[in-house]
Amino acid sequence: MAGMRIIIAGGHGKIALRLAARLGSGAVGLVRNPAHVHDVEATGAEAVVCDLEQATAEDVAEIVRGADAVIFAAGAGPGSGSARKDTVDRGAAVLMADAAERAGVGRFIQISSMGAGRSPRAGSDEVWAAYIKAKTEAEDDLRRRELDWTILRPGRLTDDPGTGLVRLAPSVPPGSVPRDDVAAVVMALLEAPGTRHQALELVSGDTPIISFVATE
């Protein structure tokens, strides 16, 4: 990753901070709240204040221009309602993809969720249903673009230490995965051109992440 410039949307998120720590000075974390700048910079990355619910595609394209890849790791987060699931989990993802196209940055990794691409189960919580709908629509938008995109759908996220052992495929049984391992897989995807134009589900498993990279 030496010499690469990677833009991370949702730079203060738990996965994003882990990514920034791995990427160091090559990472640029976009944050909405200026109070979060210090946390991003503490990883060794650069922080840029940019509210993706207010910015235009051209605003963001100016930040993205010259980057090697964009990682969409933003989310409205726990406690947010249906409206922000749409404006962040869908709207901000679409905005970042627009910006990447305008800036001529081809590689785009979108962190989505297991369950996206399918209708929520009957009786699902209203906010969960809105979340899955937003993630699905963001994926659908990305699939229509000329970008070299990869969609990553992690299972239930945990803060357990990463193991480096995962199960990664277009379809895997439901399960959980540490955020550490999600960050490690995203790093691997940046150097795995064979994953372009794929949607991959991710849970903990028994295959070393390094083996996945080696097969590309």
Annotated domain spans of the chain: 6-214
- Which pLDDT tens digits describe the chain residue by residue (216 residues)? 667 899 999 999 999 999 999 999 999 999 999 999 999 999 999 999 999 999 999 999 999 999 999 999 998 777 677 888 889 999 999 999 999 999 999 999 999 999 998 877 766 788 888 889 999 999 999 999 999 999 999 999 999 999 999 999 999 999 999 999 999 999 999 988 789 999 999 999 999 998 766 554
Determine whether 67 is an active site residue.
no
Distance CA 198, CA 149 (A): 7
The CATH architecture one would assign to domain 6-214 is 3-Layer(aba) Sandwich (3.40)
As to burial, measured by CB atoms within 10 angstroms (0-12 exposed, 13-18 middle, 19+ buried), residue 111 is buried
- The model's pTM: 0.93
Residues 131, 133, 147, 168: which is the catalytic one?
131
